[in-house]
Structure 1
Amino acid sequence: MFNPNDFPKPGLIAVNGVTLEVFEAGNANGGKPIVLCHGWPEHAFSWRYQLAALANAGYHVIVPNQRGYGNSTRPAAVTAYDLDHLTGDLIALLDHYGYADATFIGHDWGAMVVWGLTLLHPTRVNKLINLSVPYMDRGTMPWLEFLEAILGSDSYFVHFNRQPGVADAIFAANTMQFLRNLYRKNVPPSEPQPGMALINLANAETPRGEPIMSDAELAIFVAAFEASGFSGGLNWYRNLDRNWQRLADVDPIIQQPALMIYGNHDSVQRSPNLPTFVPNVEVLDLDCGHWIQQEKPNETNQAILNWLKRHDSV
């Protein structure tokens, strides 16, 4: 397990009208920037096992708490969390350091942001690695309508949009219990229960499966969300259709070299047409669930470093 005292102290950087809490390691301004983008409900600390490994390999590792998270700015307006704002923060972060482009790695919602960043600002991304969440092609139906049609109204994607504020309050009232119950592995299968699964999880007094982190590691996440609440991160979900509209006239093909890492036991669906939209993608499977880089840190690091070594030499 990781000693939280080994994680670097953050700096606060003003970018794009907000202030981001940013953790760094490695050779600053050394010409090999790599930006790690967390998901929901995560924190820059979710990359704790990757930060030193990448820095030791010669990279300048930049790990922001993105807007809505940790001690970064949490705007009140839902529209402040759309793809333009989220990707604009990352572009402004590159500008702050004086980098023309960088390699980006995303997990969960961070992966969705990295896919979107590459579509909207292709010259600023030289290659990308995404974990868990594959490229989501735009299709003809707005994403929220599409997800409601296939997953139903109890899907958390739909619930967060149709019942704003409800999940926010329940997660905030049960922060420790929710995060403890969420960050698990080897959870035995069970019959689906009525209602929204994540709210049920927040209300469950007994966790299932095994913890993926120590109490000291979990305490970092709990303290962060007790301070910030959950609405900032949930507002990312509330821009699904706005993002869908934004991408209407954008070239949907990503040409950069890409690595997609799936967890074999992840509930997130794989993309059958990933190579159509990301023709230079390699796909790798790890024997884990959703929290890939935290569940299998050594295997994740090895996969990332091996892939980067091959593509950096091109």
Structure 2
Amino acid sequence: MSSTRMIKANGIDFLIREQGQGPLVVLCHGWPELSYSWRHQIPALADAGFHVVAPDMRGYGQTTAPPEVAAYSIFDTVGDIVGLVQALGETRAMVVGHDWGAPVAWHAALFRPDIFTAVAGLSVPPPFRGRGKPLDLLRQNGITNFYWQYFQKPGVAEAELERDVGHTMRVVLGGRGLADPSAAMFVHEDKGFLGHGSPEEPLPAWLSEADLAYFTDAFRKSGFRGGLNWYRNIDRNWELTAPWQDAQIHQPSLFIAGSRDAVITGLIGAKRVNELERVLPNLRRKLIIEGAGHWVQQERPGEVNEALVSFLREAAR
């Protein structure tokens, strides 16, 4: 059974879920999620012989949410994971991330190969640092309503998402059963970010009302600003990572995604998934789970756990 506790790292306080003994594995969640998103992985990895730690990431849940937008850069979020490893009394760890947690995991492996000995990313491919700022490139391509853009102005998305947190979580986590999942990534002015979802839609089988209530309660208390501030550093992260242009991640790596995840089915995402080895020369496996969507470790825990256990055991040898 996992336990929770507070721990100080990188100058802020983290809530962590933890279970097991053995080599350290850190699990990094995405937006709008929590350490609870790893509830199926924590016991499975602990049973497989690992010390598993999943934090509420910076700005989420019971972890500190600094007020400044600038406090959510990739250097801050990777610094958090480095700090956690040290606070746990370890010098080495394997790191796994999903959604926004995946860039944290990939960059942790890129920036600190001396600490992070293996890396797995779920849903979001590794960093392919393009030739221009991501938000500039969107505008240059005539795109003005992508959700990244909608999230930029402080207060706008917060107002919509916090109006009815229960509705927000039901739509974002449970109600995206669209024929074209990528449609949910574009915001229509009169509908807002949540305009694609219907509160009447039944929850998917993988998300119970109790699960939804847990997420809803946490975000009612924390609000959404911390998580949205991650998006407000997208262009800044591009600037900060200039020294790693075309760098590779040489540690053993694993990539997992659902076949119906809009992050990997779009033009850019599909290209990146096809070219993973450019950044990951030591890629051990690319697992695309047929029929799964974006919340892959919650939707298909059996397949995800099996792949993670196999990969981490091999990497820990």
Q: Is TM more than 0.5 here? A: yes
Length-normalised TM-score, structure 2: 0.89
1:31-46 alignment runs, 5 A limit: 32-46=23-37
Tell me which amino acid in the other structure corresponds to 1:181.
Answer: V
Q: How far off its partner does 1:128 sit?
A: 0.6
Choose from 10, 19, 31 the match for 1:25: 19
Aligned match of 1:230? 224
SS at match of 1:63: strand
**Structure 2 vs 1, CA of residues 197 and 104 (structure 1 numbering), >3 Å: closer, same or farther?**
farther
Superposition pairs of residues 16-95 of structure 1, within 5 angstroms: 16-27=10-21, 30=22, 32-95=23-86
Tell me whether 1:114 sits opposite 2:105 in the alignment: yes
Match of 2:279 in 1: 277
Matching of residue 290 in structure 1 with residue 308 in structure 2: no
- Secondary structure, in 3 states, of the residue corresponding to 1:198? coil
CA contact (8 A) 1:37 1:110 kept: yes
What does 1:178-197 correspond to in 2, within 5 Å?
178-184=168-174, 187-189=177-179, 194-195=188-189
Task: State the Cα deviation string for residues 247-304 of structure 1 (Å, max 9, x = none).
Answer: 1012621111100001101000231322111111121111200000000011111111
State the alpha-carbon separation in 1 of the partners of residues 70 and 199 from structure 2. 34
2:260 paired with 1:265: yes
* Structure 2 residue 170 is matched with structure 1 residue 166: no
Q: Per-residue CA shift, 1:10-46, capped at 9, x if unaligned?
A: 211111111001110001xx4x000000000000000
CA contact (8 A) 1:255 1:278 kept: yes
* Residue matched to 2:313: 309
Map of 2:266 onto structure 1 = none
Q: Give 1:125's aligned amino acid.
A: F
Q: Which of 234-243 and 250-259 deviates more?
A: 250-259
CA drift of 1:312 comes to 2.6
Normalization by structure 1: what TM-score? 0.90
* AA partner of residue 229 (structure 2): N
> Hey, what's the Cα distance between the residues in 1 that align with 2:207 and 2:297?
12
- Sort the Cα spacing of 1:298 and 1:150 in 2 relative to 1 into closer, same or farther, 3 A: farther
Q: Quick one: structure 1 residues 213 and 262, their matched pair in 2 at CA, closer, same or farther if it must change by over 3 Å?
A: same
CA positional deviation for 1:208: 6.8
Aligned residue-pair number: 302
Once residues 273 and 55 of structure 1 are traced to their aligned partners in structure 2, the CA distance between those partners, rounded to angstroms, is: 32
Mapped to 2, the partners of 1:259 and 1:298 lie a distance apart of: 16
Determine if the alignment matches structure 1 residue 13 to structure 2 residue 7. Answer: yes
Residue in 1 that maps onto 2:134: 143
SS for the counterpart of 1:260 is strand
Q: CA deviation at 1:70?
A: 0.5
What is the distance in 1 between the residues matched to 2:229 and 2:92? 27
Instruction: Tell me how far 1:185 sits from its aligned partner.
Output: 7.2
Paired amino acid for 1:306? S
Supply the AA of the counterpart residue of 2:8: A
Q: Distance in 2 between matches of 1:55 and 1:19?
A: 24
**2:40 is paired with a residue of what secondary structure?**
helix
Report the Cα offset of residue 210 of structure 1.
3.0
CA spacing shift, 1:230–1:151, aligned 2, 3 Å: farther
Query: Unaligned 5+ residue runs, structure 1?
Result: 1-5
